[in-house]
Chain A
Amino acid sequence: MAAGGPASELIMFIVAVIVAGSVAGALAYVTTDIAHGMNYRGTLLADQLRTDFAIINDPNNIPHSNLSAQPVNYTFYIKNIGKIAFPFSQDSVQVLLNGIMISPSNLTFLDPQTGAEINTLQPYEVGAVNVTLGNALTSGDDYTLTVVLSNGERRSFVFRAP
């Protein structure tokens, strides 16, 4: 019993340090998690602000394949006017025509100069989206093309079908 005093003091000390360490560890874990979230959210927001693009077609003159042969291809030009590159592929870009989503398998993303497929669009670069439709659009009617990037940036473009 005589040794009970220091032993219990030691046990109390160890328990107190373990409890305080656990609280500190939990706090560090939660803090790191919040810090990662803040960094991620900040980067996402900054990327959204730095991403911008324009659909640069002549709305009265959309390049197309033979309208009487099915399927019909229409070509739309996208220019990166932002500060950073963005993904430019079937997996990352959605295209809607009059609000109806075009299946990714009907989209081709090309370099308009070489005709080669591309995956990203650098600042100032122009990329072409080939939209393949089963039937030709009604000639003379107005349509709205909406392009949505992977980060949610979207632009709409009204054109007259050739």
Chain B
Amino acid sequence: MGFSVSASAAIIFISFLVAASTLYTAWDNSYTNVQAAREDWYNLKLSQLNTLVDLNGTLGAASIDDTDKVYNVTLYIEDYGSTMYVKGWSAVYDGYYRTIYNVSDDNVGFLKNYTYVLPGDTLLLNVTNIPLDSTHHNLTVIFDNGCWLRIGWYYNGSAVLITDRENGCPTEVS
């Protein structure tokens, strides 16, 4: 009788230990996983808070081609905030998506193959073959963290003028 009680007590005790260790392992895995994800989430929000990218001056440069009736604009975009990953940037030009890392596939792209932009760095962004008329054009540069810089300009017959520039970050209603 005594041995039966001891044996069954030992079995139940060991099963409690195994259950506790199983639960602890599962909790620890979940906790570590959620903590790492929370860290990523905080990093994204911190990156959005520290994003400040704007034009360096009113307009970088503009070249007018009277023969082909087009003009090109080079925007000097300066990073006044934290370091950013340029390969993750995108652009929307006059409402349509454009790749920004290659100027040859469309009319919008960087002059150099940038990977990171450090605080204080200036990036040169070309918009080429714009019809030489007074149409208002609009370029939105969207950064890797979802924040954006929107620039509007037009040709007034003798020069290219910046009409508006705004920046912001994604919110629930953007």
Contacts and interface: CB of A to CB of B under 8 A. Distances in A.
A32 B33 contact: no
Interface string B77-113: 0000000010110101011110100000000000000
A116 to B, nearest CB: 14
Contacts of A13: 3-4, 7
Contact of B30 (A31, A42, A53, A128): A42
Interface string B141-174: 0101110101000000000000000000010111
Interface string B4-29: 11011101101110110011011101
Contacts of A34: 23, 26
Interface string A1-37: 0000000010011011101110110011011101110
Interface in B21-60: 22-23, 25-27, 29-31, 33-34, 36-38, 40-41, 44
Contacts of B173: 144, 156-158
A77 interface: yes
A47 interface: yes
B41 A56 contact: no
Given A20-B12, A31-B22, A55-B174, A62 B144 contact: no
Given A16-B4, A54-B146, A58-B95, 16 more contacts: A9-B1, A17-B7, A20-B11, A27-B15, A34-B23, A35-B22, A35-B26, A49-B34, A49-B41, A50-B37, A56-B90, A56-B92, A62-B95, A112-B97, A124-B144, A144-B173
13 contacts: A13-B7, A17-B8, A20-B12, A28-B15, A32-B22, A35-B26, A38-B27, A47-B37, A48-B37, A49-B41, A56-B140, A58-B140, A113-B97
Interface of B: 1, 3-5, 7-9, 11-12, 14-16, 18-19, 22-23, 25-27, 29-31, 33-34, 36-38, 40-41, 44, 85, 87-88, 90, 92, 94-97, 99, 138, 140, 142, 144-146, 148, 150, 170, 172-174
